[in-house]
Amino acid sequence: MHHRISSRVRNITPSATMSVDAKTKALLKEGKPVVNMSVGEPDFDTPVPASFAGIQAITEGNTRYTAAAGTLELRKAIASKLMVENGLQYTPEQIVVSSGGKHALFNIFLAICDDGDEVVLPAPYWVSYPEQIRLAGGVPVVVSCGEQSGYKLTPEQLEAAITPKTKAVVINSPNNPTGAVYSEAELRALGEVLSRYDVYVVTDEIYERLVYNTRHHSIAALVPELRSRTIVVNGFSKAFAMTGWRLGYTAAPVDVAKAISSLQSHGTGSPSTISQAAGVVALQSFQPEMVEEFQRRRDYLVRELQSMPGVRCLTPDGAFYVFPDISELFGKELEGKVISSATDFCELLLEQDLVAAVPGEAFGAPNNIRLSYATSFENIGTAVQRIRQFLSRLS
């Protein structure tokens, strides 16, 4: 008998962040007081003006299909945001609004990859990139970026990874899972390499607003000669605490934008009309106090982790994750179970001391774990105590 499931789907690994989240929720259901540091979701509410715009869309009957690429009003608002905040000039026809940043990325890889095309993917990477690239028939070429470069891709590594089959390079800054932010000089140096090769640059900037003591730069603004092949991805989930509204977008060269729009017209059709109405208003409703609070949590969590035996932790410049290296603890054991990987570490930590973290294997970084500080200061304090307790019992 034929396989009931396509090989395309049989070969994907389910999202690790989602599966840790499911385990955590199951324990919470049993009444266990788990501190969940596994999810990339701000614990703030959507700005009230944006929520009201969504409610108003519903009550005023603004609930019909929109153009597949999104409403003109929202695409104009996004074009103006990109100009004012990022120094990027795009017309509304170059912008496609999708059902989340994840959906926007999925569209991009399907629109640009042919079977066998290579996509250079710096690791640590966000869990869905390699799977999306493979689903589109592409081949992820993973380049490991270690602690010494701050988990960032160097120009030398980029140059070495590009082959005649390279179709695109992915840059994610601020980065999930590491929180690394590329400086202006670092992006210019990558741009210098990229300007010599005819490849797309997919730049995922969803965390751009969440930076601490530094600035976010978009490579397309710094290296104008890349403009004609840069695809900018962004969305509303992180900066505006709108994860469940499912609203993201791409800004791309006209031919790519048209291709994405055409693909989307057959995939999902337009994104939610209600979410789009909220998005127009959200762009004017950023809450800077969110960044201050994240920074306070980051500073505390990093300081605590750095003082723990066997844990190494860089200070992230953006997003809301810390990405400590726990490889010094491999080989230790607790209650007869040996920790031989980050996955073992996370499973034991969750089971024994009820803190949920995501193992680095999911991000192409087997020595690390990801902890999200998008949870209350009090929860972070509890988690720190529990992690210390956990570490003290390892032998």
In this predicted structure, the answer to whether residue 23 has a pLDDT above a threshold of 90 is no
Beta-carbon contacts of residue 314 (< 8 Å; ≥ 6 apart): 147, 150, 151, 178, 323
pLDDT computed for residue 174 by the predictor? 98
**Strand pairing of 355-356 and 230-235?**
unpaired
How many Cα atoms occupy the beta-carbon half-sphere of 378 within 13 Å? 2
Which has more pLDDT, 8 or 259? 259
pLDDT computed for residue 3 by the predictor? 83
Q: Is 157 exposed, middle or buried (0-12, 13-18, 19+ CB in 10 A)?
A: middle
The alpha carbon of 316 is separated from its chain's Cα centroid by a whole number of angstroms, namely 14
* Global pTM value: 0.96
Please say whether the dihedral angle defined by the alpha carbons of residues 19, 21, 26 and 32, taken in this order, is positive or negative.
positive
Confidence of residue 22 (pLDDT cuts 50, 70, 90): confident
Q: What is the pLDDT of residues 138-178, one digit of tens each?
A: 999 999 999 999 999 999 999 999 999 999 999 999 999 99
pLDDT computed for residue 14 by the predictor? 81
Measured distance CA(82)–CA(101) in Å, rounded: 16
In this predicted structure, the answer to whether residue 213 has a pLDDT above a threshold of 80 is yes
Lowest mean pLDDT among 10-14, 86-90, 140-144, 367-371: 10-14
Lowest mean pLDDT among 1-10, 30-39, 56-65: 1-10
Q: What percent of the chain has pLDDT over 70?
A: 100
How many Cα atoms occupy the beta-carbon half-sphere of 182 within 13 Å? 27
pLDDT computed for residue 2 by the predictor? 79
Angle between helices 101-112 and 128-135 (to 10 degrees): 40
- Tell me if the domain spanning 7-32+288-392 has CATH number 3.90.1150.10: yes
pLDDT computed for residue 21 by the predictor? 80
Would you give the end-to-end CA distance of the chain in angstroms?
A: 51
- Tell me if the domain spanning 48-282 has CATH number 3.40.640.10: yes
pLDDT computed for residue 201 by the predictor? 98
pLDDT computed for residue 272 by the predictor? 98
DSSP string, 225-251: GGGGGEEEEEESTTTTT-GGG--EEEE
Instruction: Tell me if 7-32+288-392 shares its fold with 48-282.
Output: no
- List the chain domain ranges: 7-32+288-392, 48-282
Confidence of residue 265 (pLDDT cuts 50, 70, 90): very high
pLDDT computed for residue 99 by the predictor? 98
How many CB atoms are closer than 10 A to CB 49? 12
Residue 204 DSSP SS3: strand
pLDDT computed for residue 287 by the predictor? 95
CB 16 within 8 A of CB 358: yes
In this predicted structure, the answer to whether residue 278 has a pLDDT above a threshold of 90 is yes
For the chain, the average pLDDT equals 96
Measured distance CA(217)–CA(324) in Å, rounded: 25
Query: Phi and psi dihedrals of 358, rounded to 5?
Result: -105, 130
pLDDT computed for residue 160 by the predictor? 98
pLDDT computed for residue 315 by the predictor? 98
**What's 208's DSSP letter?**
T
pLDDT computed for residue 236 by the predictor? 98
Please say whether the dihedral angle defined by the alpha carbons of residues 50, 55, 56 and 62, taken in this order, is positive or negative.
positive
Q: Which residues pair with 358 in a beta bridge?
A: 370
Average pLDDT over residues 274-299: 97
Confidence of residue 67 (pLDDT cuts 50, 70, 90): very high
Q: What is the pLDDT of residues 349-389, one digit of tens each?
A: 999 999 999 999 999 999 999 999 999 999 999 999 999 99
**What's 30's DSSP letter?**
T
DSSP string, 291-359: HHHHHHHHHHHHHHHHTSTT-B-PPPSBTTEE--B-GGGTT-EETTEE--SHHHHHHHHHHHH-EE-EE
In this predicted structure, the answer to whether residue 16 has a pLDDT above a threshold of 90 is no
**What's 214's DSSP letter?**
S
